[in-house]
Chains A and B, each alone.
Chain A
Amino acid sequence: NAGVTQTPKFQVLKTGQSMTLQCAQDMNHNSMYWYRQDPGMGLRLIYYSASEGTTDKGEVPNGYNVSRLNKREFSLRLESAAPSQTSVYFCASSEGQGLYTEAFFGQGTRLTVV
């Protein structure tokens, strides 16, 4: 009963390095999301994928790219990490758009950029 699985759980990057955060869900959900959480703030949407094959920008997309690899997997890439990207990143999934349904979240990836 894994739900939403994120890897890695922790990561330290140097400024300018790149990395990809991985996310997979086993609930056969259509929609997937990447959020970031910063101290004193709620979660903010970075990118989302309403369905397999589609991706769209959220509230704070700058500095990130995403790939919806298949229905299960949605990755987030930082091409050139900056200290402002130090945050906790959460992947989530939901049944889909046009439904009153909750999103299910992974455990998070704590990223520090030095």
Chain B
Amino acid sequence: DQQVKQNSPSLSVQEGRISILNCDYTNSMFDYFLWYKKYPAEGPTFLISISSIKDKNEDGRFTVFLNKSAKHLSLHIVPSQPGDSAVYFCAATLYNQGGKLIFGQGTELSVKP
């Protein structure tokens, strides 16, 4: 029973264009969502987060959108750069659970020059 799902294992985008990574969840109790970026042979690094009281959060080139009614969130990267090529994980948790994260399977983003 996968509570957090990333249905696209991979995504290829041209440099300068928008990358959109998607994530769906099933547990309506989740109230905090995070995106992590992972390079090979490294640990995941935190990218951006959003709480359930918001529907959008921006940080530079990265924007996360949350649609609670659809139980869906997405990460937009604009403009995409070759250095953005990595695996992106969506994760969800409950406020009182801190770092106990439920992860999606990951989407491998490839940004081509």
Contact = CB atoms under 8 A, between A and B. Distances in A.
B100 A45 contact: yes
Contacts of B46: 102-104
A97 interface: yes
B99 A43 contact: no
A11 to B, nearest CB: 15
Interface stretch (A13-21, A60-68, A87-95): A87-95
B43 A42 contact: no
Main secondary structure of the interface of A (DSSP, over half): loop
A96 B99 CA distance: 7
Given A42-B4, A42-B106, A100-B32, A107 B43 contact: yes
Given A107-B41, A107-B43, 20 more contacts: A33-B99, A33-B100, A35-B103, A40-B105, A42-B89, A42-B91, A42-B102, A42-B104, A42-B106, A43-B44, A43-B101, A44-B103, A45-B101, A58-B100, A92-B43, A96-B98, A98-B96, A100-B49, A101-B99, A106-B43
**10 residue pairs, one from A and one from B, having the closest CB atoms:** A42-B103, A94-B99, A105-B43, A103-B99, A97-B98, A102-B46, A43-B103, A105-B44, A107-B43, A42-B105
Contacts of A99: 95, 98
B98 A4 contact: no
Interface in B34-87: 34, 36, 41-46, 49, 51
Interface in B1-59: 4, 6, 9, 32, 34, 36, 41-46, 49, 51
